Amino acid sequence: MTFNALPKNIADKAASIKLVALDVDGVMTSGSVYFSAQGDELKAFNILDGQGIKALMKHDIEVAIITGRTSALTARRAKDLGIKNILQGREDKKIALGEISEELGISFDQICYVGDDLPDLSAITSVQLGITVPNAHSLIKKHAAHCTQTPGGQGAVREVSDLILEAKGLLEAYHQSYLS
């Protein structure tokens, strides 16, 4: 993505972010849930997203997961990435986000929320930077401040991470750290 093409208001909002809160199904995954013949649930998480999450945390930006479903796979992915703030089985994402906000001492005007479906709407419209993905419900697209170019489950979270780091003037140095 070319971040220079971002509207100034989106870049300005992204520069103030201290917490990125993520929905899982449809954002961190494609939204598809697979079941094995034995009844085990399977999900695919994108490695690019994981690198983006780690980049945010390396730059002292908190990351949280808020999801309506409860899944051991989501808990494992959060653990693997070092995400400490994870709320599962939460249909009211705004209330859940408020709990994390209060615990971390981060106000809603310092939060980016990324979601794709109706349970995410109140959170998306309450934060500084509400972002959605191309595969989102049309109402979410209407109310989000920004829509990624990359679909959920295919690197959308990485795109959000890069957008925020670029807005904060940190992305180039982060990339350069891999060249030395």
Per residue in 39-74, pLDDT tens?
999 999 999 999 999 999 999 999 999 999 999 999
Residue 75 tokens, joined = 């808990």
Q: Between 3.40.220.10, 3.40.50.1000, 3.40.50.720, 3.40.50.2000, what CATH number should domain 3-176 receive? A: 3.40.50.1000
CB-CB contact of 56 with 20 (8 Å)? yes
Q: Is the pLDDT of residue 148 over 80?
A: yes
CA angle 130, 135, 129 (to 5 degrees): 5
Domain boundaries along the sequence of the chain? 3-176
β-bridge pairing 41-42 and 34-35: antiparallel
Q: Which amino acid is at 130?
A: G
CB-CB contact of 130 with 145 (8 Å)? yes
Q: Is the pLDDT of residue 13 over 70?
A: yes
| Mean pLDDT, range 102-120, rounded to an integer | 98
Q: Is the pLDDT of residue 2 over 80?
A: no
Instruction: For the chain, give the mean pLDDT.
Output: 96
pLDDT score for 7: 85
Q: How confident is the model at residue 1 (pLDDT cuts 50, 70, 90)?
A: very low
Residues belonging to the chain? 180
Q: How confident is the model at residue 3 (pLDDT cuts 50, 70, 90)?
A: low
- State pTM to two decimals: 0.95
The whole-angstrom separation of Cα 162 and Cα 1 is 9
